[in-house]
């Protein structure tokens, strides 16, 4: 078995208006389904739906899925010992490097992209737009380094890790300790439909409820328009991160089961009492209260600095200098996280079937070229490894990733072969394809607890046909 196995992708595009069991392949484009791989096995070659064995688990593309059977010990033992080494000097170098780039870019544009040096306003607007993009990219790199601190991958010193992480995240209006705690819970329950903390997919009934339909109608619905998909994506990219902090959108909503009872009567959404700023939020335990307040203090300090800058130098300047780059950082954060955990090949598990090794394998690596490797510090390219051992620093993650592939085999998922353009195409593909999760039709036993993405857009394996009783 190849250690770098890439899951087969079957470009199945159904016509939901007709009940054909012989889907046809279509060419790949940002507005259509993926292209069929010549080496892939389509459902056409497997016969009609009635011939699919009930015990088979099929991902969205129709590829057979088998539950991982390796252990976390096997994963950890496969990683060379030196990959676990964390260097404060190396990590601090990257922080100072990124901060220096941010400061240098601001200095150059502030002093040389002015009416005196560039009289043309359209030219200045274009250049300042480039400024916001650059600062957004580098700012995302700083965000990733603070993320390293939260996982204690920055250095052997917890004090240094939390100090640097608190400063860097606060400067980006991120509540460091609040996010660190909830993110840690995400790592402990990745792929668990009842306990995961981010991009938890909707089940069939939840999705039907959201669009005002019954679960029986989903397989009969007409295709969602590309405009509707694009509108949803724009909203997700602009406001997804802020809404997650404020309302826990995309996180689990089982707060009533919180052991301390802090989740009683609380639910996701506006006014539901679940957010990343309130020490009494059910996302945290009572012992975390001081850390939540410290996180809020960091935001208050940064907000005060921003208010001073805006009132002194102009609010439009603040918008260009900080506001728009901040939105770019949010965009990249949401895009990266979404595509790490949302893909037609990924399973999700009911709690009784889930375990840590299985959940950590329900992630996928991608490639974002120079930006991914050198500005985003490899967070896109080595995320599978990160879910198994999150304390390994990013500069050792490539070697560690290669090591665990020998254990994971075909369960290691990567789209690195699609390059940086594939990253953007995957956003569209996942948005069109990954609408809700459900078990494979006819699944029995443990297989019933393994759920895969299905959709109303005629892509891939059809939704299970359910008739009203």
The Cα-based distances of 33 to 225, 245, 351, 364, 459 in angstroms read 13, 32, 31, 19, 7
56: in domain: no
Which one-letter DSSP state was computed for residue 71?
-
Domain containing 130 equals 72-454
Mean pLDDT of 280-286: 94
Cβ(387)–Cβ(360) below 8 Å? yes
Residue 123 token pair: 């030219």
- Name the domain count of the chain: 1
pLDDT digits (tens, 9 = 90+) for 183-212: 999 999 999 999 999 999 999 888 888 777
38: in domain: no
> Dihedral of CA 2/431/220/207: which sign?
positive
233: in domain: yes
> According to the model, what pLDDT value does residue 35 have?
36
Where residue 17 falls among pLDDT bands split at 50, 70, 90? very low
Cα 455 from chain centre = 19
> According to the model, what pLDDT value does residue 258 have?
83
Nearest-Å Rg of the Cα atoms of the chain is 23
> According to the model, what pLDDT value does residue 469 have?
54
Instruction: Count CB-CB contacts under 10 A for residue 397.
Output: 22
Beta bridge partner(s), residue 452: 438
Pick from 410, 363, 405, 357: which is nearest to 64 by CA?
Answer: 410
Sequence-distant (≥ 6) Cβ neighbours of residue 402 within 8 angstroms: 3
Where residue 467 falls among pLDDT bands split at 50, 70, 90? low
50: in domain: no
pLDDT digits (tens, 9 = 90+) for 380-403: 999 999 999 999 999 999 999 999
334: in domain: yes
215: in domain: yes
Where residue 46 falls among pLDDT bands split at 50, 70, 90? very low
Cβ(245)–Cβ(275) below 8 Å? yes
Strand bridging mode 348-349 / 450-454: antiparallel
Cα–Cα distance between 444 and 449 in angstroms, integer? Answer: 9
Mean pLDDT of 26-41: 35
Return the percentage of the chain with pLDDT > 90, whole number: 79
Residue 101 token pair: 């780039």
pLDDT digits (tens, 9 = 90+) for 59-108: 999 999 999 999 999 999 999 999 999 999 999 999 999 999 999 999 99
Cα–Cα distance between 132 and 152 in angstroms, integer? Answer: 30
Cα–Cα distance between 172 and 136 in angstroms, integer? Answer: 11
Where residue 5 falls among pLDDT bands split at 50, 70, 90? very low
Where residue 245 falls among pLDDT bands split at 50, 70, 90? very high
> According to the model, what pLDDT value does residue 38 have?
32
40: in domain: no
Pick from 398, 397, 379, 377: which is nearest to 389 by CA?
Answer: 397
> Dihedral of CA 205/209/215/220: which sign?
negative
Where do we find the tokens 């995957």?
Answer: 426
Give kind and range of the element (H or E) at residue 333. Answer: helix 324-341
Burial of 84 (0-12, 13-18, 19+ CB in 10 A): middle
The Cα-based distances of 167 to 99, 146, 286, 299 in angstroms read 12, 8, 24, 10
Where residue 309 falls among pLDDT bands split at 50, 70, 90? very high
463: in domain: no
The Cα-based distances of 127 to 99, 124, 133, 141, 402 in angstroms read 21, 5, 10, 21, 40
Return the percentage of the chain with pLDDT > 70, whole number: 86
The Cα-based distances of 192 to 46, 89, 275 in angstroms read 31, 37, 20
Round the average pLDDT of the chain to a whole number and report it. Answer: 88
Pick from 440, 439, 428, 435: which is nearest to 456 by CA?
Answer: 435
Where residue 213 falls among pLDDT bands split at 50, 70, 90? confident
Cα–Cα distance between 223 and 458 in angstroms, integer? Answer: 7
φ, ψ dihedrals at 125, nearest 5°: -60, -45
pLDDT digits (tens, 9 = 90+) for 74-84: 999 999 999 99
């Amino acid at each position: 078995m190849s250690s770098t196995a890439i899951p087969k992708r079957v470009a199945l595009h159904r016509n939901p208006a007709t009940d054909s069991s012989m889907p046809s392949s279509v060419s790949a484009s940002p507005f259509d389904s993926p292209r069929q791989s010549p080496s892939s096995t389509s459902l056409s070659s497997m016969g009609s739906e009635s011939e699919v064995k009930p015990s088979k688990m099929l991902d969205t593309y129709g590829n057979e899925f088998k539950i991982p059977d390796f252990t976390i010990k096997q994963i950890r033992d496969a990683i060379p010992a030196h990959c676990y080494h964390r260097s404060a000097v190396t990590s601090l170098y990257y922080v100072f490097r990124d901060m220096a780039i941010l400061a240098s870019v601001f200095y150059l544009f502030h002093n040389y992209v002015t009416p005196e040096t560039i009289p043309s306003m359209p030219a200045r607007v274009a250049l300042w737009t480039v400024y916001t993009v650059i600062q957004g990219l580098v700012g995302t790199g700083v965000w990733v380094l603070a993320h390293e601190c939260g996982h204690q991958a920055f250095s052997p010193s917890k004090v240094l890790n939390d100090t640097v992480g608190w400063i860097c995240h606060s400067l980006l209006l991120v509540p460091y300790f609040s996010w660190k705690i909830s993110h840690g819970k995400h790592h402990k329950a990745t792929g668990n439909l009842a306990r995961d903390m981010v991009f938890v997919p909707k089940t069939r009934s939840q999705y039907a409820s959201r669009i005002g339909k019954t679960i029986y109608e989903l397989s009969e619905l007409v295709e969602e328009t590309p405009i509707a998909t694009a509108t949803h994506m724009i909203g997700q990219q602009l406001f997804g991160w802020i809404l997650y902090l404020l309302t826990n959108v995309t996180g689990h909503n089982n707060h009533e089961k919180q052991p301390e009872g802090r989740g009683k009567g609380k639910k996701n959404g506006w006014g539901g009492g679940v957010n990343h700023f309130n020490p009494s939020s059910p996302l945290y335990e009572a012992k975390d209260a001081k850390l939540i307040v410290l996180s809020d203090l960091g935001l208050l300090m940064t907000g005060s600095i921003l208010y001073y800058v805006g009132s002194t130098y102009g609010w439009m300047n603040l918008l260009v200098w900080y506001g728009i780059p901040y939105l770019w950082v949010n965009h990249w954060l949401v895009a990266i996280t979404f595509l790490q955990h949302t893909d037609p090949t990924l399973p999700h598990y009911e709690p009784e079937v889930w375990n840590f090794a299985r959940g950590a394998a329900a992630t996928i690596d991608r490639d974002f070229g120079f930006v991914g490797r050198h500005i985003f510090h490899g967070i896109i390219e080595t995320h599978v490894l990160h879910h198994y051992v999150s304390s390994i620093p990013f500069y050792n993650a490539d070697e560690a990733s290669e090591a665990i592939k020998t254990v994971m085999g075909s369960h290691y998922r990567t789209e690195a072969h699609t390059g940086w353009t594939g990253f953007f195409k995957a956003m569209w593909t996942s948005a069109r394809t990954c609408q809700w999760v459900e078990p494979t039709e006819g699944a029995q036993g443990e297989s019933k607890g393994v759920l895969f993405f299905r959709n109303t857009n005629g892509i891939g394996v059809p939704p299970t046909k359910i008739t009203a009783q």
